[in-house]
Amino acid sequence: MIVTETLTLPNGVAMPKLGLGTWMIEDDTVAEAVRTAIEIGYRHIDTAQAYQNERGVGEGIRSSGAPREQIFLQTKLAAEAKDYDTAKAAIEGSLATLGVEYIDLMIIHSPQPWMEFAGEDRFYEGNLAAWKALEEAYEAGKIRAIGVSNFQKEDLDNLLQNAKVKPMINQILAHVSNTPFDLIRYTHANGMLVEAYSPIGHGQILNNPVLQEMAAKYGVSVAQISIRYVLQLGLAALPKTKTPAHMKSNAELDFVISEDDMDALKTIEPIKDYGDASMFPVYGGKL
């Protein structure tokens, strides 16, 4: 089962390549979703300070019965934490809210605060300050690995050229019809892994006729072909769902997309609309 397969971070830490995303799952219901995912076999759980559900995620892990060391828990430092003191306090806050002694992976959620996403200011000094707080928590054993999310080449270079500990991963929006190949290549070339969030395009690619036809060819769902696509690119995948049937089917990926079909998927017409998610900055909208 794909949930048992791992990628190896630059520091040797193994990370399950398929994880459960928990964005937009409320704090009072996320514990049940996490427990269900772990029962199905998932061992990688993704959350964030911005999701406001870390408490529930931690509860779900603790009440699942699975040994803590078997769970890869990932969270994200708030995009607005762009100074050392704020970032340090936020890291301690996540540890307390999650109710864990350590976090497996913690990443800066965005190079810019959400209200200034895609603006001219790249917050280089602020990201270095936040990164220093992550480095210290990493060196203290409170975090097993550290990385970033939504970072472009210039944002990565800022850390690669100035940080003591190099970023280990970049979590980015990547799916069929929106795959930033140049950024993926650059991230990989600099020794980092890449995680794909919204590998199903926030559900907005499920009705794509090309994907539907290809999914039918392989006898799988559009969601399954979409997740398999990012995995075959060498990325980790974080499909988000709280529906047990979807959790199960998202992990049933025992098929291989042919090279010709992968090439076809790489050139599908770019998605134009993310539906209700378009209001969020990462999907091209504005707050």
Which residues are 178's β-sheet partners? 175
* End-to-end CA gap in the chain: 39
Residue 275, sorted as left (phi over 0), alpha (psi -120 to 50) or beta, turns out to be left
Catalytic residue among 42, 51, 138, 283: 51
CA 18 remoteness from chain centre: 10
Q: Which distant-in-sequence residues (6+ apart) come within 8 Å of 234 by Cβ?
A: 7, 188, 194
- pLDDT for res 280: 77
How much is the pLDDT for 124?
98
| pTM of the full structure | 0.96
At residue 278's C-alpha, the angle toward residues 24 and 204, to 5°, is 80
- Give the angle 107-112-114 at the CA atoms, nearest 5°: 95
Tens digit of each residue's pLDDT, the chain (287 residues): 688 899 999 999 999 999 999 999 999 999 999 999 999 999 999 999 999 999 999 999 999 999 999 999 999 999 999 999 999 999 999 999 999 999 999 999 999 999 998 889 999 999 999 999 999 999 999 999 999 999 999 999 999 999 999 999 999 999 999 999 999 999 999 999 999 999 999 888 999 999 999 999 999 999 999 999 999 999 999 999 999 999 999 999 999 999 999 999 999 998 887 877 777 788 775 43
* Domain range annotation of the chain: 2-283
CB atoms within 10 A of CB 3: 22
Backbone angles phi, psi at 71, to 5 degrees: -105, 130
Q: Give the pLDDT confidence score for residue 1 in this predicted structure.
A: 63
Q: Which of helix, strand or coil describes residue 123?
A: coil
| 102 given a catalytic annotation | no
Which residues touch 30 (CB under 8 Å, ≥6 apart)? 22, 47, 53, 56, 57, 60, 242
pLDDT at position 230: 98
Fold adopted by 2-283: TIM Barrel (3.20.20)
